[in-house]
Chain A
Amino acid sequence: MRAATVAPPLALGPGLGRSTVVIGSGIVLLLAVSLAAVAAGTSGVGVGDALAIVAHRLLGIGTVTWPLSSETIVWELRLPRIAAGIIVGAGLGCAGTVFQALLRNPLADPYIIGTAAGASLGAVGALLVPTVLPIAIGGWLGLGLVQIMAFAGGLAAVLAVYGIARGRGGTPVVTLLLAGYAVSSLLAAGVAMLMFVSGDRLAAVVSWLLGSLAGASWPRLAFAAPLIIVSFSLLLLRWRGLNALLLGEQRATHLGLEVEREKRILTGLAALATSAGVAISGTIGFVGLVVPHLLRLAFGPDHRLLLPASMVFGAVLLVLADLGARMVGGIPVGVVTALIGAPFFLWLLRRSLVVHD
């Protein structure tokens, strides 16, 4: 709390006006980054054609002067990736903010209590199904199974962790963290074991574990987007609960918060957003860890601003990182999120140290 009142490093004016400015400029930035992403690619389809195609498909205006392949590239390849980047990035940013506040742990990220390991085990198991069963399973079913298993695995892991950590008097945060770590380790051992026996499917397993938006398509988004949008919309409404939890669970109780119920709801919604995101993109690190920290350093810890801002800037970071990943020979997007985010984060960290001296 003090950071906000004593020295907000990038203060932009008081109260609601500041929130509007922050979110507004974030949305403008997101539009700009998305525009760049729709116009840039490894084929020759440039800004003019890309915009004309989007206008034509969305609004029905303009005449077709481009080859069909350009339309496929813009509408079926670039746009679903951008949409997936926005949705997954927003979900990860939001879930990271929630877990950091809920667990009162600066190292918390959306994956911390089992989502990543559970989703990985589910997805890797699904990837190996064609190997295990001598039945030829169509590409569609194969892909669909991976997503469903990832989603189910992520959620199931969080449920298991929560169930284990839950005692008569509630669910202590430390127990939750430790149970999360232990369950994750167990599931990770399962993943490693499956990788060891994966044989010629290993490449597919590795590329899923590294995380990528390359497989994004409208049907996949139709599965994940509603889940993520519903969960972060509901999370946005719970900023008061998160602010209260920052003070400690005892004080939050004194403020009239039903702490255990609040924790269950927050964990459930954040796990839902994370699992749905992981299902379509694999585990993309760093966004959910650093975006909340960045914004907290910049704008203070009030979740009324922090939650929507972490969604918007999570989306900005992931769309930007995926653009970079696409342009540089398809390197894993998680590498790029770290390459872009880490130096900026370190710079902000140093800067805030100076302010606090």
Chain B
Amino acid sequence: MALRVRLHSIPAALTLLLLVACTAPASSSSPSASADVPSTSPAAAAYPVTITDDAGREVTIDSSPQRIVSLAPSGTEIVCALDACGRLVGVTDFDDYPAEVSEVADVVIAAQVDVERVVAAEPDLVLAAGNEITPSSVIAQLTDLGLTVLVLYPESLDAVYADIELVARAIDATAADDLIGDMRQGVDAVVSAVEGADRPRALYEVFHAEGATYTAGEGSFLASLIELAGAVPVTGDAQGLLAAEELIVADPELILLGTASYDPSLADPEAARDTVAARAGWAELAAVRDGRVVPYLDDIVTTRPGPRIVEGLEALARAIHPDRFD
């Protein structure tokens, strides 16, 4: 008994790593989203459509999906941004945007996919998230039950655009080009706003536990956003883990507390600064000495790889270069 109890308590603590999973890169290189249908094809797609999803799976969709289940908020936001919100028949209990999805039944509760509820929703398309955000065992189970599952896991802005196009093809939506055009414009606006500004070494705190800080993983989507927003990201390993000593060596000039999005006690800048200054070794970091510890309240839009990722990028740029957005 004792042995198994120990085995279980280690993962319990490590489960918190999942918080970072949505920003960390997949260790196996997944092929980028592509579609076999020529991109010049007219809007009214001819079904069946065969597309390749972000997990490298070939997915054939027989007819235009009218009952869509989304197992991750980013998928929900893509469907709604493509004007297909009305076709959603199942979402997660974490979905909060747009407001009308609160009317849709929850099939993912407390991060657990309720397979029975998914089946009961009778979906003709299920949008899952890759990199174990939707467990691969659940994806396999849903596929075995005869459901059509499309796995989305974009790891860059271009991949987000590609996923929007992929979903648009899958569900026969026409709004993709306008949406992606607007997003590209938004990104360009942010990039030109911060052009020429000093680029501080920035630590984005995703999660902090005794002695371990999770930040943007090396080569991760979040790291690339921080770079676009006009800073040099202080990165951890592939999972975003940054050891205390490495942090002190990296000596960030700016600390963005993504954790403040979920912890009201960090929302006040002075309280936030005091909190991090009290951690061993942190008081000597340049960011803490110079008072550049920023409670960052837009973690959700910054780490949710959907259409609002541009808002997330702009929020990052504003936090890093407030003077450029007056």
Contacts and interface: CB of A to CB of B under 8 A. Distances in A.
Interface of A: 41-45, 67-70, 72-73, 76-78, 107, 109, 111, 116-117, 120, 130-131, 134, 136, 139-140, 142-143, 181, 184-185, 188, 191-192, 195, 199-207, 209-210, 214-215, 217, 283, 285, 289, 326, 329-330
Contacts of A202: 11, 14-15, 17-18, 132
B104 interface: no
B237 to A, nearest CB: 9
A239 B195 CA distance: 81
A195 B14 contact: yes
B132 A200 contact: yes
Nearest to A143: B140
Assign chain B's interface to a size class.
Answer: 35 or more
Contacts of A69: 119-122
Nearest to A107: B1
A134 B135 contact: no
Chain A at the B interface: mostly helix, strand, loop or mixed? helix
Interface stretch (B2-10, B200-208, B246-254, B284-292): B2-10
A-B complex: 7 closest residue pairs judged by Cβ atoms: A43-B120, A139-B140, A206-B11, A330-B112, A203-B132, A69-B122, A43-B116
Contacts of B141: 214-215, 217
Contact of A116 (B4, B18, B121, B132): B4
Given A142-B140, A203-B18, A207-B135, A76 B145 contact: yes
Interface of B: 1, 3-4, 6-8, 10-12, 14-15, 17-18, 21, 24, 26-29, 56, 109-110, 112, 114-117, 119-122, 131-132, 135-137, 139-141, 143-146, 238-239
Contacts of B114: 42, 329-330
B119 A72 contact: yes
B102 to A, nearest CB: 19
A199 B11 contact: no
B217 to A, nearest CB: 10
B8 A185 contact: no
Given A72-B119, A131-B27, A285 B4 contact: yes
A43 B115 CA distance: 9
Contact of B109 (A78, A131, A139, A329): A329
A188 B7 contact: yes
